[in-house]
Chain A
Amino acid sequence: MSQYSNNELITAYLSRQILEDDLCFVGVGTNGRAFTLAVGIPLAAVRLAQMKQAPSAAVYWGNLLEPDLSSVPEHFTQDAFTQWQAAACPPDTGVKCDMLARRKFDVSFNSAAQVDRYGNMNITAIGDYENPKVRLVGCLAQPEHFAFVRRPYLVMDMDKRTFVEKVDFITSVGHLTGGTSRQEAGLAEGGPKLVVTNKAVFDFAEDTREMRLKSLHPGVVVEDVLSLMSFMPIVPETIPETEPPTEEELGFIRGEIDPNRILLKV
């Protein structure tokens, strides 16, 4: 077994969640590590899925429907976005919003400043909403993703300040306060499916909808994970290891998907 990076592990893991015909929403913004989590890993994961089990999986990126993932722009400046070839580029972003509300999206990749026990997410403000400690970016379509997308995947690094008991502001409603509270509030069934991190993968318990440790990345022990969380997730008695990337997956990622290490840079 050859060496692999954490980013490659996460990319391969996420790519295996993608099914034939999935329409996947990938975000556009940010830089540095946040770019890798929100843009780089998701684009690489969907492309890997296209090359393996899901050739008809597609991405909605910016306002481009089915951009050609076999030639991702090398520089993310405006003109590179403008020229990226795609199947469709609707006249305005409202079209994408309509597609979201009509549940045309199967998958979304999300990351946030805070996530809580029930998978509620905050990208709006840290601290008091009206006098915040840190004002973040707002909401974008993150509320829509959790409201309408069938399988949202959170892609985040673990940190005590990020994995909190209760988010300071609910931008996106996950499983709200657990159980059936999400549906009682007026949303359809759904909410975040998995939380894929740099240490472990979590899902949500079927009944209480609490975050539950699903697998540990190779070399990681439960204590490592818990020390990076401000709440106690459900910890099953036996926890499998996250399946590492195969030689074939690594070959695709390094040789064809991201040869210049643009997507999985940091």
Chain B
Amino acid sequence: MTLRTKLTTLEKAVSPIVSGSSVAIGGSLLRRQPNAIIRQLIRNGVRDLTVMSWAGTTAIDLLAAADAIRRWEGIYVGMFNYGLAPNFRRGVESGQIEVRDFSETAMVARLRAAAQGMPFLPIKTLFGSDIAKRNPEQIKEFDCPFTGQKLQAIAAAEPDFTVIHGYIGDEYGNVQWPVVRDTDDMDQPFAAGAKRLIVTVEKIVPHEEIRKQPSLTYIPGNWVEAIVEAPYGAHPAACDTYYDEDDAHLKDYLGRSKSGADVRSYLQEYVYSSNDHDEYLAKIGGTSALKALDVARRG
């Protein structure tokens, strides 16, 4: 058996994502935001994206800072315990970003429908809410064919691309999670319903290592189009069991996000003036600064 390698560079992996694409973005709150991929998209000058997320933070706000989002669909955008997401907020308030709000059961239904190859799944959460009233295109009432009960059909999430940051993986695209981790996310359902899935991981390990514990593979290589090694790829967000969020960097980012002009200086310093992820890591202080964010590894 000869497997096809999917290991590539960040530049090559994200090159198919062009302006106008729809992109689902993994991670939740300040965890595993695929920020290395996001920075590459910004360097590429991609615009007019429709983005989908679970609880989005840095990834969504960075894209908003770069004026790359036309529409967002998801359950949350904010900066977790740092408050509201300033650039996303400005984009929505100015009318530049259109929003489609979903509650959690609604978004879960969208992801599971995509994974099952179904056009929709039903829920019974949003009767009477403005979430349903404002989105007749993706949320429709119907009667259960068995019981006659009133239900709401939620349209499947069918993004062109899905981007996720994971823990470890092999060159064939198999991605594994650690035994103990923070599971408050929807990365596996996002991956399961993806059309074109692009993954970064903290570390590429030999295929033999992955084979020893196949039950830890939450994204099988079969689902993956491209895999890239991107250490600290979620920075300035955290990767649980690897490193914590970078408090000083987040505060600097938020301090420089008070206006569109301010945040352009941030993007210039950290994104546009670094040619790739390695240069970004050097810019934020290199290995020694990053090691300070590391957390104790456990068996």
**A residues engaging B (CB < 8 A)?**
28-31, 35, 62-63, 76-79, 81-83, 89-94, 96-97, 100-101, 124-125, 129-144, 147-148, 169-173, 176, 181-182, 185-187
Contact = CB atoms under 8 A, between A and B. Distances in A.
Contacts of B89: 134-135
Interface stretch (B14-22, B126-134, B158-166, B256-264): B126-134
17 contacts: A63-B185, A79-B238, A79-B244, A82-B241, A94-B112, A97-B104, A101-B125, A124-B131, A131-B93, A138-B74, A139-B103, A141-B75, A147-B124, A176-B128, A181-B128, A185-B128, A186-B128
Residue of A173, A181, A186 most packed against chain B (CB within 10 A): A186
Contacts of A185: 127-128
A65 to B, nearest CB: 11
B102 A139 contact: yes
Interface stretch (B1-9, B176-184, B224-232): B176-184
B282 to A, nearest CB: 24
Contact of A93 (B95, B104, B181, B218): B104
B180 A82 contact: yes
Contacts of A133: 93
Contacts of B74: 138
A94 B189 contact: yes
A124 B102 CA distance: 10
B81 interface: yes
Interface residues of B, number: 63
A78 B105 contact: no
Given A77-B244, A93-B54, A134-B93, A29 B80 contact: yes
Contacts of A31: 81-83
Given A77-B244, A78-B31, A173-B128, 14 more contacts: A28-B80, A30-B81, A79-B295, A82-B180, A89-B183, A92-B185, A129-B134, A135-B88, A136-B84, A140-B75, A140-B103, A141-B105, A143-B105, A173-B129
A141 B189 contact: no
Given A76-B81, A78-B30, A186-B150, A140 B76 contact: yes
B183 A101 contact: no
A97 B107 CA distance: 10
Interface string B286-299: 00000000011000
Contacts of B103: 139-144
B186 A93 contact: yes
B218 to A, nearest CB: 8
Contact of A147 (B30, B88, B125, B182): B125
B104 A63 contact: no
> Top 3 nearest A-B pairs by Cβ distance?
A186-B127, A185-B128, A63-B184
B241 A94 contact: no
Given A29-B80, A140-B103, A143-B125, A62 B131 contact: no
Contacts of B29: 28-29
Contacts of A132: 92-93
Contacts of A89: 181-183
Given A138-B77, A139-B131, A186 B124 contact: yes
A135 B128 contact: no
Residue of B74, B83, B125 most packed against chain A (CB within 10 A): B125
Residue of B76, B98, B183, B188 most packed against chain A (CB within 10 A): B183
Contact of A144 (B28, B125, B240): B125
A91 B183 contact: yes
A249 to B, nearest CB: 28
B170 interface: no
Contacts of A35: 81
Nearest to A35: B81
Interface in B56-90: 74-78, 80-84, 88-89
